[in-house]
C-alpha cells in the first residue's frame, strides 16, 4: 500500500524457524519458517485444517510447539510451553482478535477494553477510560460503551474486540479468521477497521478466507497446506501467478465463488 513502508532490513518482530507442532500423533505444523518485519501485513491462507490458525496461535503461546525456535519481539519462546515469564511479556505486546470475538459477557463494552490496561499496565481508571473511549470512537461504537456485549451485533462485538486488543498498544496484532463467524452484511465493517489499522502502519498477521481483502491489504501472502508453507510472496504473485500446483487448485476453488 502506497502510504505504508516496510523496512525489510529491520529486526523481525516474529522469527520462527523450523517450527514443528504435534497434536498427539498428528503432525500439524511441519518445519515452518516465518519472519515478520515491523510494519508488515502478512496474510495466511489455506484450507480449513491446514494449520493456519495453529500457526498464529503459536506466536502468542496459545498453542505449544514441540521443536524449532520462535522469537517474538526479541523474546524467545521455548518448546512445550516452558518459560512462561517471557510468554506473558510477549502477550502484553501482541494483541489478538478471535473468530468468536471472546468478549467478556459479564463486563460492559468499556470495561472489556479497560480491564487489561488497568490490571496489566497499571493504568489509572481515568486514563484507561480515556483510551477506551478514544478507541471505541475510532472503531465506530463510542455510543455503546455502557452496553453489554450481548446487546451488540456480531460486527460491533468484533470491533469492540479489536479496540480491546489495541488498548494494550500492541506492537503486533494477530487475527484468527476475524470475519468467519459474522453475518455477510457485517463483514465489511470489520474489514474496514482492519484496513484502517493497516494504513496506520500496524504490524499484522491475519488468517482469513477473505481473498479480496487479502489481496488489497497484504504485503505478503502465505499459502499453507497440511502444515507446510507451500508458497509465499506478494499478493499479485500468489494470487495471479501461483507457482505451486496446490496453490493453484486451492485458489481456483475459493476464487470461483
Partner 1 sequence: MDSNFDFNWEAAFQSIPYLLKGIPFTLMISFGGLAIGFVIGMIFGLMRLSRAGWLRWPAIAYIEIFRGTPVLVQVLFIFYGLPQLLGGPINAVVAGIAAIAVNSGAYISEIVRGGVQSIERGQREAGLSLGLSRTQTFRYIIWPQGFRRMIPSLGNQGIISIKDTSLFAVIGVGELVRQGQIYIATTFRALEVYLMVALLYLAITLTLSLLLRLLERKGLVGQ
Strands 204-207 and 172-176: parallel
The total of other beta-carbon atoms located within 10 Å of residue 201's CB is 16
Could you tell me if residue 249 is left (phi over 0), alpha (psi between -120 and 50 degrees) or otherwise beta? Answer: alpha
Stretch that binds partner 1, among 97-105, 134-142, 182-190, 218-226 (CB under 8 A): 97-105
CB of 100 to partner 1, least distance (A): 5
Stretch that binds partner 1, among 90-98, 186-194, 232-240, 241-249 (CB under 8 A): 90-98
Stretch that binds partner 1, among 14-22, 31-39, 91-99, 244-252 (CB under 8 A): 91-99
User: Does the protein bind partner 1 through residue 205 (CB under 8 A)?
Assistant: no
Out of 24, 25, 106, 126, the residue judged to bind partner 1 by CB under 8 A: 106
Out of 55, 86, 103, 139, the residue judged to bind partner 1 by CB under 8 A: 103
Out of 1, 6, 62, 234, the residue judged to bind partner 1 by CB under 8 A: 62
Q: For partner 1, what does the binding mask look like between residues 139 and 168, x meaning CB under 8 A?
A: ---------xxx----------x--xx--x
Compare residues 27 and 118 and give the one whose CB is closer to partner 1.
118
Binding residues for partner 1, rule CB under 8 A, total: 31
CB of 83 to partner 1, least distance (A): 15
CB of 173 to partner 1, least distance (A): 11
The C-alpha cell that represents 24 in the structure block:
498427539
* Interface contacts to partner 1, rule CB under 8 A: 60-62, 88-89, 91-96, 98, 100, 102-108, 115-116, 119-120, 148-150, 161, 164-165, 168
Amino acid at each position: 500500500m502506497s502510504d505504508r513502508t516496510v523496512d525489510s532490513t529491520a529486526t523481525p518482530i516474529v522469527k520462527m524457524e523450523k517450527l514443528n507442532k504435534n497434536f498427539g500423533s498428528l503432525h500439524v505444523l511441519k518445519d515452518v519458517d516465518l519472519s515478520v518485519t515491523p510494519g508488515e501485513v502478512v496474510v495466511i491462507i489455506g484450507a480449513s485444517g491446514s494449520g493456519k490458525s495453529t500457526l498464529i496461535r503459536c506466536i502468542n503461546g496459545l498453542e505449544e510447539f514441540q521443536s524449532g525456535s520462535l522469537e517474538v519481539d526479541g523474546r524467545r519462546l521455548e518448546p512445550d510451553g516452558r518459560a512462561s515469564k517471557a510468554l506473558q511479556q510477549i502477550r502484553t505486546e501482541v494483541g489478538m482478535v478471535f473468530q468468536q470475538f471472546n468478549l467478556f459477557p459479564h463486563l460492559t463494552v468499556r470495561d472489556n477494553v479497560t480491564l487489561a490496561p488497568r490490571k496489566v499496565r497499571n493504568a489509572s481508571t481515568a486514563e484507561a477510560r480515556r483510551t477506551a473511549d478514544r478507541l471505541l470512537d475510532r472503531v465506530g461504537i463510542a455510543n455503546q460503551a455502557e452496553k453489554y456485549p450481548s446487546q451488540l451485533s456480531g460486527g460491533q462485538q468484533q470491533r469492540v474486540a479489536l479496540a480491546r486488543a489495541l488498548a494494550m498498544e500492541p506492537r503486533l496484532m494477530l487475527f484468527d479468521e476475524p470475519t468467519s463467524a459474522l453475518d455477510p452484511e457485517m463483514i465489511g465493517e470489520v474489514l474496514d477497521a482492519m484496513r484502517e489499522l493497516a494504513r496506520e502502519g500496524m504490524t499484522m498477521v491475519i488468517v482469513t478466507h477473505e481473498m479480496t481483502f487479502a489481496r488489497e491489504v497484504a504485503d505478503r501472502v502465505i499459502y499453507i497446506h497440511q502444515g507446510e508453507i507451500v508458497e509465499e510472496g506478494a499478493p499479485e504473485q500468489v494470487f495471479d501467478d501461483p507457482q505451486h500446483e496446490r496453490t493453484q487448485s486451492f485458489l481456483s476453488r475459493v476464487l470461483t465463488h
